[in-house]
Structure 1
Amino acid sequence: MTNSQFLEKLNLKNKTALVTGASRGLGRRFSTLLSNMGANVVLAARNKDKLLETENIIKKSNGECYSVDIDVNSEESINNAFEKSENKYGEISILINNAGIALSKSSLKTSIQDWDSVINTNLRGVFACSKVFANRLITHKKPGKIINISSIAAEIVLGNYLSSYCASKAAVSHLTRTLAFEYAKYNIQVNAIAPGYILTDLNRNFFETDEGKEMIKTIPQKRLGVPEELDGALLLLCTELGSFMTGSVIRVDGGHVIG
């Protein structure tokens, strides 16, 4: 393979990706990266002000993007988001299921409502968005790629207060495999990325505390990751470089799980 052939496989020009949870953190990074690689990006989230910030970042780099409101707990909202996006760009070929929440609370004090909130957003939302997207692809007989954002919490226990989050991410990783198996005959690939501790604005203050610093010491590389270090995994799964991958969960964690 020549350099030009390799670069061509990375090119996302004329592709459209929908990213849930695009208003901040990893979702914002994924959106800007895909835009930089030539994709039209649909920014999907509920926080309109933060969505506008992401939109402005992309447009300042001459990227193409479009913001839609989405509630991943509502199939009607998901369908509306896809409908608006397809009216804007035509067929969507990539779905990034990134929307998620965490609740730091002892399981003994976690209400059923708290539990349902995490499971509904992190797991039900992934299932619902994937189902809507896959049905649209199948109807139009188009291939597609689904990338779910799981976590190393799917494999290891992260402290005493994340039972709902860990359970939801373990389910997301296995849902990735089951959907990959089911959708393969339709030429739809389903894979996941399982990040370790990645520094974002949401966790920065915590990792500056003594407790946070102690947690960093448990990582074999002795540091936090940054959002840009997920770029390689995302591009592999979104482009033709990963054309023979489905049902994979790629860990990007500085060796945390093996440590």
Structure 2
Amino acid sequence: MSRLKDKHAIITGAAQGQGAAIARAFVGEGARVIIADVADGEALAKELGDAAAYCRHDVSDPASWDQLIADAEGLLGAPANVLVNNAGVLRFGEVDTMPLDDLDLLISVNMRGCFLGMRAVAPAMKRQRQGSIINCSSVEGLAGMASLTAYTGTKFAIRGMTKAAAVELGAYGVRVNSVHPGMIDTGMTREVGGEAAMQWGATRVPLERVGTPDDVAPLYVYLAGDESGYTTGGEFAVDGGVTATHSFYPGNSGQGGAA
């Protein structure tokens, strides 16, 4: 497959979960990828072969971005023309009791990390007059959820920054879009609720199942490639239908049976 031939991608938070699925899908479609993560991504890079390399990277640190951009160009053989801002953290907390340290972490990784990533790749993409930036927001970037005020704020920020950057960079042929996953079965989501959370989540989704990283990755392939060449400033929900309904949705109707 060669939908992403000649694409050189940086994917943050790519050592596991959704990011790893995106990296596998990109390489499967002919891209070369940098697996950028604070976690160890060497095993995944080895699995993907010569088309992938791992760089340890802290998305909240401007100096780490400077080093990543320099390293990526050497490893990829060309400047990155795709950036996937996938790295993120999740913390629950009521608005009146959430520790400020958790708020600062969410802002630092989710919001600041996304901004720094766009800032880091924009100069080379502008010089090339082409590129695709894909920012991972959330369904919480489209609507609010109790106990997620801080997290929701960062995901709304990503959605807004995406649209503003799309306007700024459009004249240079650089596209910027946001992806809004629903409940996806990853280590990050299981960490806060385990299997019980997965089972509950399935009852709240019109498709009656929780998503997987492999459900999300094909959308990133589309947005990274030339097929989406007239698509920028968009927001794409991949959520099993969650954002198609509202708070009166009764959950599993019992007709289909949740997976």
- TM-score normalised to structure 2 length: 0.88
Structure 2 Cα separation of the partners of residues 15 and 232 of structure 1: 15
Q: How many angstroms does 1:236 deviate by?
A: 1.5
Runs of 4+ with >4 A deviation: none
Q: Which residue of 2 aligns with 1:95?
A: 83
1:76-96 C-alpha deviation (Å, 9 max, x unpaired): 110100101102222211000
User: What SS does structure 1 have at the residue aligned with 2:244?
Assistant: coil
Structure 1 Cα separation of the partners of residues 242 and 98 of structure 2: 27
Mapped pair 1:42 → 2:29: no
Q: Which residue of 2 aligns with 1:201?
A: 187
Q: How many angstroms does 1:208 deviate by?
A: 2.0
Q: How many angstroms does 1:117 deviate by?
A: 0.9
Mapped pair 1:80 → 2:67: yes
Stretch of structure 1 that moved more, 16-25 or 212-221: 212-221
Taking every aligned residue pair, what percent have the same amino acid on both sides?
26
Q: Which residue of 2 aligns with 1:236?
A: 222
For structure 1, list consecutive stretches of 5 or more residues without a partner in the other structure. Answer: 1-6
Structure 1 Cα separation of the partners of residues 48 and 224 of structure 2: 18
Q: In 2, are the aligned partners of 1:32 and 1:57 still within 8 Å (CA)?
A: no
Match of 2:8 among 6, 10, 16: 16
Q: In 1, are the aligned partners of 2:6 and 2:31 still within 8 Å (CA)?
A: yes
1:123-180 C-alpha deviation (Å, 9 max, x unpaired): 1110111011002222x3331100001100112223x321111111111111111100
- TM-score normalised to structure 1 length: 0.88
User: What SS does structure 1 have at the residue aligned with 2:134?
Assistant: strand
1:162-215 C-alpha deviation (Å, 9 max, x unpaired): 111111111111111110011101110001110111112333473521x55333
1:5-33 C-alpha deviation (Å, 9 max, x unpaired): xx7xx522232100000111101010111
Structure 2 Cα separation of the partners of residues 228 and 39 of structure 1: 17
Structure 2 Cα separation of the partners of residues 253 and 220 of structure 1: 9
Q: Which residue of 2 aligns with 1:33?
A: 25
For structure 2, list consecutive stretches of 5 or more residues without a partner in the other structure. Answer: 246-259
Q: In 1, are the aligned partners of 2:206 and 2:240 still within 8 Å (CA)?
A: yes
Q: In 1, are the aligned partners of 2:136 and 2:178 still within 8 Å (CA)?
A: yes
Q: Which residue of 2 aligns with 1:3?
A: none
Partner AA of 2:78 in structure 1: G
Q: Which residue of 2 aligns with 1:157?
A: 144
Match of 2:163 among 160, 166, 177: 177
Q: In 1, are the aligned partners of 2:178 and 2:235 still within 8 Å (CA)?
A: yes
Structure 2 Cα separation of the partners of residues 193 and 57 of structure 1: 26
**RMSD of the TM alignment (CA)?**
1.6
Structure 2 Cα separation of the partners of residues 141 and 58 of structure 1: 27
Q: In 2, are the aligned partners of 1:207 and 1:213 still within 8 Å (CA)?
A: no
Q: In 1, are the aligned partners of 2:82 and 2:224 still within 8 Å (CA)?
A: yes
